[in-house]
Amino acid sequence: ITGEERGFDVALFTIDKLLTSSNIAYAVTGALAFGLHIPNNPRNTKDINLLIKKSDKAKLIKTLKDNQLKYREEDTYHLNIIKVAGLPVDVLFSFADTELSGIVESKRALLFGVTVSVIKPEYLAWMYLDSDRPQHKVDFTEMVKQKSLSINKLYDLLEDDGDIYALEELKRLTKIS
């Protein structure tokens, strides 16, 4: 089953249109971003993951209400949009430099035939390094193996930010010193 058959194209088009028309910056992240950066190793996913600035949370909620889209707030930093074109959307509101930079530094890219804002590989890798989920460590290792990111750029980002935990994880997983 392709992404188009599952409706990712329509959902991404709808999301991009809603968010850009409301002047809400975002970045697609998670499995869809991973699949874009590692095209020969796509992730099977049933949803869309987005990063949005925490300062845009009220604007997003208003946009959802204005467009009759149902949502559920999980906590301060996480909201689930029940369905956009038949697909669930998980929204993570930026609370750390990682996510905020990932939104600001996102790039427009083609995903299922739709141009959307996608997190750059170094910022996705940074999120994986800060995560405690084992699959994120596996995905990070695959990104390194496939050379889909610049380790030097990632190292500089982590060092500039002072993210000691992610720096230690980077060193541990890549054996750099």
Numbered ranges of CATH 3.30.460.40 in the chain: 1-119
Burial grade of 1 (CB within 10 A; 0-12, 13-18, 19 or more): exposed
Torsion angles phi and psi, residue 113, rounded to 5 = 80, 5
What are the Cα distances from residue 148, in Å, to 6, 26, 96, 134, 176?
A: 26, 21, 23, 20, 17
Task: Give the architecture-level CATH label for domain 1-119.
Answer: 2-Layer Sandwich (3.30)
Residue 39: the pLDDT is 82
What's the average pLDDT block by block, 10 residues per block, for the chain (177 residues)? 72 97 96 91 86 94 96 91 92 79 91 95 94 93 93 94 94 86
pLDDT of residue 4: 59
Q: Edge to edge, what strands does the sheet with 107-111 contain?
A: 71-75, 78-84, 87-94, 48-53, 26-29, 114-118, 107-111
Structure token digits, residue 134: 């084992």
- Token pair for 79: 């909201």
Q: What is the model's pTM?
A: 0.91
| Cβ atoms of residues 67 and 30 within 8 Å | no
